[in-house]
Copies of this chain bind each other. A is one copy, B any other.
Amino acid sequence: MRKKPTEYLTEYLAVKGLKSTTQRDKILNVFIAAGQHLSAEELFLSVKKLHPGIGYATVYRTLKLLAEAGLAQEQRFEDGFTRYEHAKTDAHHDHLICTRCGTIIEFENERIEQLQQDVAKKNRFKVQTHKLELYGLCAECQGKKN
């Protein structure tokens, strides 16, 4: 992604016959500045600090839009709500998720990806996407009592 995300978005919107709005650009900028794995609620709170006028629904809608545009990627973990991460052009990655503190660690493993393809082929299955999540305790939480 060489050009600015907002430019990319504007382009996408134009192609789709949709409209570029200040809200969408603002939300996108906050989204990019914020950390990974944000929920819509979390993003909304961050957006509200800088741009109090922007509504809840608009954040939700924009997040879905960003996902369609390829600028964000939806991730549904087990904590009940949808999170979004910035789409990267580099390789797909998976997640280690701490069930105690919620920390999310990303990893990628070429070998696993390959074995997945083998499994798919064996079942005459054509993979579109996949999801690999390891739930457990991160290094810090392993020591904690309770």
Q: Are B109 and A115 in contact (CB under 8 A)?
A: yes
- Whether A123 contacts B139 by the Cβ 8 Å rule is yes
Verify if A133 is at the interface (C-beta below 8 Å from B): yes
Question: Would you call A134 and B130 a contact (CB within 8 A)?
Answer: yes
Are B115 and A115 closer than 8 Å at their CB atoms?
yes
Residues in A lying within 8 Å of B, measured CB to CB: 76, 78, 96, 98-99, 105, 107, 109, 111-112, 115-116, 119-120, 122-139, 142
A-B pairs with beta carbons under 8 Å apart, 21 shown:
A76-B76, A76-B78, A96-B123, A107-B119, A107-B123, A112-B116, A112-B119, A115-B115, A120-B136, A123-B138, A124-B142, A125-B134, A125-B136, A125-B139, A126-B136, A128-B136, A128-B137, A130-B132, A130-B133, A131-B133, A131-B135
